[in-house]
Structure 1
Amino acid sequence: MSLIDDLSALDLAALVASRVCHDIISPVGAITNGLEVLDEEGNEDMRDFAMDLIRKSARQASAKLQFARLAFGAAGSAGSEIDLGDARNVAEGFLENEKADIAWDVPRLLMAKNKVKLLLNLILIANQCVPRGGTITVGMEGDAEAPVFMLRATGGYAKVPAVVAEILAGGEPERIDAHSVQSAYTLLLARDSGMDLEVVKQEDTVLITAR
């Protein structure tokens, strides 16, 4: 049994929770800093700066939490399907605070929950592949029952992080931690959805396919 397969439900939940907390620590910390400036500064310019920081950081934290709710959680849905329009909204909100832009070319459909979660997690991986910014193009072929997701991450410094490539190819990483668990979770979602993953680097582009 592989290291990923050997992860208990409790360990997986703990690692995913740690990943989500890591993502929102920065904007929440910035909100705290802004509030401290408001408490201490009498300068009007500094108060304006602090309020701008608080507003921006609150939007970032909200976008990250809304994305995580759909990508990692049950999405508050009593059924087994999620609207791809909702997935688009949270993906665009999340990437507003990242260096990469997103181009969404996926029809608005109801789709099985784990397939939608897989798509959102593939967007996270695509974002890792363009650390200095670029464009993530999200496309789909097929229908809601048998989709093929195609993501193209293009940027001047496009690359596939080694641990991401290893895990998505079904390799055996040395360990699973809060940094690598998202890739492992993506692989588990693909398996649950009966889909195979492929990641290919081509010059300034990384192509990610799930079929």
Structure 2
Amino acid sequence: MTPVDLDSLDLSALLCSRVCHDVISPVGAIVNGLEVLEDESDTSMREFALELIGKSAKQASARLQFARIAFGAAGSAGASIDLADAEKVSRGMFGDEKTQLTWSAPQALYPKNKVKLLLNLVMIATSTIPRGGLIDVVVRGDGEAPTIVIKSKGSHARIPPHVEDLIAGTPENGSVDAHSILPFYAGLVARAAAMNVRFRIEGDEVTIDAEPVAVSVEPTVAPARQPVEDTRPSDSEPPETSLA
């Protein structure tokens, strides 16, 4: 299947749409809470509104901090990102009563695209367990050649439809929309970071593996030996004679 070459304007528009989708819900809840504070005089309702505002503000902040690293520049071109920051925004985004997150990674700076790939794969992992569960993130190796293993375990675990084709850049219908932009973008980041991504499922556990692209080295072929011209006289040629 022919890879999809998404226009840069369409890519930025779809990513913005994704970020807005994630943030609009908690922001809307903040607005609702403020309206309750304005209209209600009942103490219990006002307490409920304040609790709603506080919780929603934390959610909105967590999602924006996550998006800043996962989708944004997060520094100048070629910058590195601390894996501790990646863990912090991931816990803020996904660590709740529905989904538990465990994290094992070096305390080190990694190339920006590899950290962006890690965060996008964590987000994809949450979609593999729609009813919640446990997400275990393990990162090994240095920043130049890391291996990432993300395991998500929960009821009704599944590999989302077409996610592997989207990461490969070859969506089945030949187009990308706001619902499919995340895995498509993860594939773009994976190729930029020279990483391969694979999915597998066993029972109620989905595993996402990401590892450096293997570089094949072509064997060196020695040049063919050229035949050496025989300059010796042939037996059929008459011997040279000297004149006295």
Q: TM-score range by the shorter chain?
A: over 0.9
SS at match of 2:162: helix
SS at match of 2:208: strand
Deviation of the 1:48 alpha carbon? 0.2
SS at match of 2:195: coil
**5+ residue gaps in structure 2?**
212-244
Rounded to whole Å, the distance in 2 between the matches of 1:77 and 1:65 is 18
Q: Tell me what 1:86 maps to.
A: 85
* 1:143 counterpart letter in structure 2: D
Q: Tell me what 2:185 maps to.
A: 185
8 A contact 1:169–1:198 mirrored in 2: no
In structure 2, relative to structure 1, the CA distance for the partners of 1:30 and 1:102 (3 Å cut) is: same
Tell me which protein shows more helix as a share of its residues. Answer: 1
Rounded to whole Å, the distance in 1 between the matches of 2:96 and 2:70 is 17
Residue 198 of structure 1 pairs with residue 198 of structure 2? yes
In structure 2, relative to structure 1, the CA distance for the partners of 1:3 and 1:29 (3 Å cut) is: farther
Count, aligned residues: 210
Q: Tell me what 1:137 maps to.
A: 136
Counterpart mapping for 1:37-56 below 5 A: 37-56=36-55
Residue 154 of structure 1 pairs with residue 153 of structure 2? yes
TM-score (ref. length: structure 1): 0.95
Rounded to whole Å, the distance in 2 between the matches of 1:186 and 1:68 is 13
Counterpart mapping for 1:99-138 below 5 A: 99-138=98-137
8 A contact 2:162–2:171 mirrored in 1: no
* 1:39 counterpart letter in structure 2: E
SS at match of 2:152: strand
8 A contact 1:87–1:116 mirrored in 2: yes
Deviation of the 1:24 alpha carbon? 0.5
Rounded to whole Å, the distance in 1 between the matches of 2:86 and 2:19 is 17
Q: Pairwise CA RMSD of aligned residues?
A: 1.5
Rounded to whole Å, the distance in 1 between the matches of 2:32 and 2:195 is 44
TM-score (ref. length: structure 2): 0.82
Rounded to whole Å, the distance in 1 between the matches of 2:133 and 2:79 is 33
Deviation of the 1:166 alpha carbon? 2.7
8 A contact 1:136–1:152 mirrored in 2: yes
8 A contact 2:106–2:140 mirrored in 1: no
**5+ residue gaps in structure 1?**
none
Rg larger in 1 or in 2?
A: 2
Deviation of the 1:142 alpha carbon? 2.0
Rounded to whole Å, the distance in 2 between the matches of 1:86 and 1:109 is 10
Counterpart mapping for 1:11-30 below 5 A: 11-30=10-29
Rounded to whole Å, the distance in 1 between the matches of 2:95 and 2:136 is 14
SS at match of 1:69: helix
SS at match of 1:196: strand
Rounded to whole Å, the distance in 1 between the matches of 2:76 and 2:105 is 21
* 1:61 counterpart letter in structure 2: A
8 A contact 1:3–1:173 mirrored in 2: no
Deviation of the 1:96 alpha carbon? 2.8
SS at match of 1:162: coil
* 2:130 counterpart letter in structure 1: P
Deviations 1:17-49 (A, max 9, x none): 000000011000000000011111111100000
Deviation of the 1:168 alpha carbon? 2.6
8 A contact 2:167–2:185 mirrored in 1: no
8 A contact 1:71–1:121 mirrored in 2: yes
